[in-house]
Amino acid sequence: MYSIEMAYARMRELQELANRSRAHRPAATQGKRRFGRNGSTAEKR
């Protein structure tokens, strides 16, 4: 069974990977727009 927890963990994995791959870009691409509509979930850790 593919649970919501597994889906959420995968989403976090992909988000971390995306953040790392973005690290070399100019600061202009970082910040508020970084997660789009997922910004609220990104702050909760």
Tell me the average pLDDT of the chain: 74
Per-residue model confidence (pLDDT) at position 43:
53
pLDDT tens string 22-38: 876 665 555 555 555 65
pTM of the model: 0.43
Q: DSSP of 1-45, one letter per residue?
A: ---HHHHHHHHHHHHHHHHHHHTTS-GGGSSGGGGGGGHHHHH--
